A and B are shown apart, each in its own frame.
Chain A
Amino acid sequence: DAGVIQSPRHEVTEMGQEVTLRCKPISGHNSLFWYRQTMMRGLELLIYFNNNVPIDDSGMPEDRFSAKMPNASFSTLKIQPSEPRDSAVYFCASSHRDRRGSQPQHFGDGTRLSIL
């Protein structure tokens, strides 16, 4: 079975450039999560969607960050303009949620982002 697929795996770009990270969740999962991981702050939840609708974006650092989920099989996280402090590993995860609750999340392999 295909897991959560993220692209690109690595991104190096200059400060001020727009960065777009992509995620394909596991088929049949209806919840999607974007996380950022750094040594200093660990794993931070940025935003999550349920049935393609953003439910909680309280973890999004500032207006430079935006996320979309146009359909059940695709999501993007965009940073514009990017700054060096945005350098981190960004993970996408998906799970299935029903009236009984949420199933465990399954993670992609992440995008390692470096902003110079």
Chain B
Amino acid sequence: TQLLEQSPQFLSIQEGENLTVYCNSSSVFSSLQWYRQEPGEGPVLLVTVVTGGEVKKLKRLTFQFGDARKDSSLHITAAQPGDTGLYLCAGPNTNAGKSTFGDGTTLTVKP
């Protein structure tokens, strides 16, 4: 069974601070996705990382895929209240057609 563990589970910071959240596994994934879910809405895809060591940037968000494709991180620079939400990582199960989701990191950015 491929599992994804996310840490921290909860994170509360002040506007302007930087933060990093993590998504770790003992299994290799062909790719990993990061989603953000805001209250009352479904998860929205932010990015997919595919190549080991890959770094992708989305404005103030930087996503990195581990060299061994077993882990990923999301770094937010100068967090804003609009970044508040549940951040989920997910990876496709090998040959199964479905994905494994982590339990998420709930981020609160206070103004």
Chain A residues within CB distance 8 Å of chain B: 4, 31, 33, 42-43, 45, 48, 50, 55-56, 91, 93, 97, 101-102, 104-110, 112
Contacts and interface: CB of A to CB of B under 8 A. Distances in A.
A35 B30 CA distance: 22
Interface of B: 30, 33, 35, 40-45, 48, 88, 90, 92, 96-99, 101, 103-104
17 contacts: A4-B42, A42-B101, A42-B104, A43-B88, A43-B104, A48-B98, A50-B97, A55-B98, A56-B98, A93-B42, A104-B45, A104-B48, A105-B90, A105-B99, A109-B42, A110-B41, A112-B40
Contacts of B96: 56
A55 to B, nearest CB: 6
Given A48-B98, A55-B97, 12 more contacts: A42-B104, A43-B101, A45-B101, A56-B97, A97-B97, A101-B92, A102-B98, A102-B99, A104-B90, A105-B33, A105-B99, A112-B40
A48 B96 CA distance: 10
Contact of A31 (B43, B90, B97, B101): B97
Given A101-B92, A102-B92, A45 B42 contact: no
